[in-house]
Amino acid sequence: GNSVTQMEGPVTLSEEAFLTINCTYTATGYPSLFWYVQYPGEGLQLLLKATKADDKGSNKGFEATYRKETTSFHLEKGSVQVSDSAVYFCALTPNRDDKIIFGKGTRLHILP
């Protein structure tokens, strides 16, 4: 079946630290991959996406590369800010399917 596994949180970092949140997936076919972010008290919003192998999605200083050989889509940012504190969800849509399959989310705390 299709599934997403991401590292458990919470992850606590100091401001300006380097961030990696690991995400691996299991899917049939050729899924599209996503990172969504949920700020406190809000719904999820798309952070970045990649639709085929070796694509790199990027937004707001965050990046993730679609690695088919390792079935991974790790989220990275070179220098985090306090405002990046949120819950991050890795997700995929299997080929020809409307539903997004979400990971369990990783809570990120950035300390000033």
The contact set with another protein (CB under 8 A) reads 32, 34, 41-46, 49, 89, 93, 96-100, 102, 104-105
Q: In the bound complex, what is the minimum distance in angstroms from residue 34's beta carbon to another protein? A: 8
Strand partners, 72: 24, 67
Is the Cβ of residue 45 or residue 79 nearer to another protein in the bound state?
Answer: 45
The minimum distance between CB 43 and another protein, in angstroms, equals 3
Nearest Cα to Cα of residue 72 among 97, 92, 86: 92
Q: State the Cα–Cα distance between residues 69 and 86, nearest whole angstrom.
A: 29
Distance separating alpha carbons of residues 68 and 110, to the nearest angstrom:
30
| Least Å from the CB of residue 29 to another protein | 12
